[in-house]
């Protein structure tokens, strides 16, 4: 499982129109405190786009139903993100997420699915 970012990056790095996505794919599991993978980058060493994607990825994972757990509410997910801000996630990105109208966006997404 910990190799999927590197495998994904290698798959798309030869596709010209996806060249800007390679670092996002490769580093989206790096963590602000350096505890992530595949390289163990920390803080601003992690490309900005990968830091944004990491926050979006975890928020989406928390607010989506999984076979092994129920989904969290957007408020619960945001609380998790804020509790791990500066540890797992870039604090500036988490702060930006907190300012988004996620309740409205979540409701719009729900309506679009139906």
Q: Give the domain CATH number at 97.
A: 1.10.3210.10
Q: How confident is the model at residue 110 (pLDDT cuts 50, 70, 90)?
A: low
Q: How confident is the model at residue 63 (pLDDT cuts 50, 70, 90)?
A: very high
pTM, two decimal places: 0.85
Q: Which domain holds residue 81?
A: 4-113
Q: Mean pLDDT across the chain, nearest whole number? A: 92
Q: How confident is the model at residue 44 (pLDDT cuts 50, 70, 90)?
A: very high
**CA 90 to CA 100: how far, in whole Å?**
16
Give the three-class secondary structure for 85: strand
Would you state the pLDDT for residue 100?
86
Q: Which long-range contacts (CB under 8 A, 24 or more apart) does 97-103 make?
A: 97/55, 97/59, 102/59, 102/74, 102/78, 103/74
Would you state the pLDDT for residue 101?
82
CB neighbours of 17 closer than 8 A, spacing ≥ 6?
A: none
Q: How many domains does the chain have?
A: 1
Phi and psi, residue 66, nearest 5°: -120, 160
């Amino acid at each position: 499982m910990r190799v999927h970012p590197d495998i994904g990056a290698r798959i798309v790095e030869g596709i010209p129109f996806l060249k800007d996505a390679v670092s996002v794919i490769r580093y989206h599991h790096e963590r602000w405190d350096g505890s992530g993978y595949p390289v163990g980058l920390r803080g601003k060493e992690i490309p900005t786009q990968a830091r944004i994607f990491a926050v979006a990825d975890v928020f989406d994972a928390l607010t989506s139903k999984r076979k092994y757990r129920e989904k969290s509410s957007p408020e619960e997910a945001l609380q998790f993100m804020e509790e791990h801000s500066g540890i797992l996630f870039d604090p500036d990105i988490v702060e930006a997420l907190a300012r988004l109208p996620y309740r409205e966006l979540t409701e719009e997404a729900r309506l679009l699915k139906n």
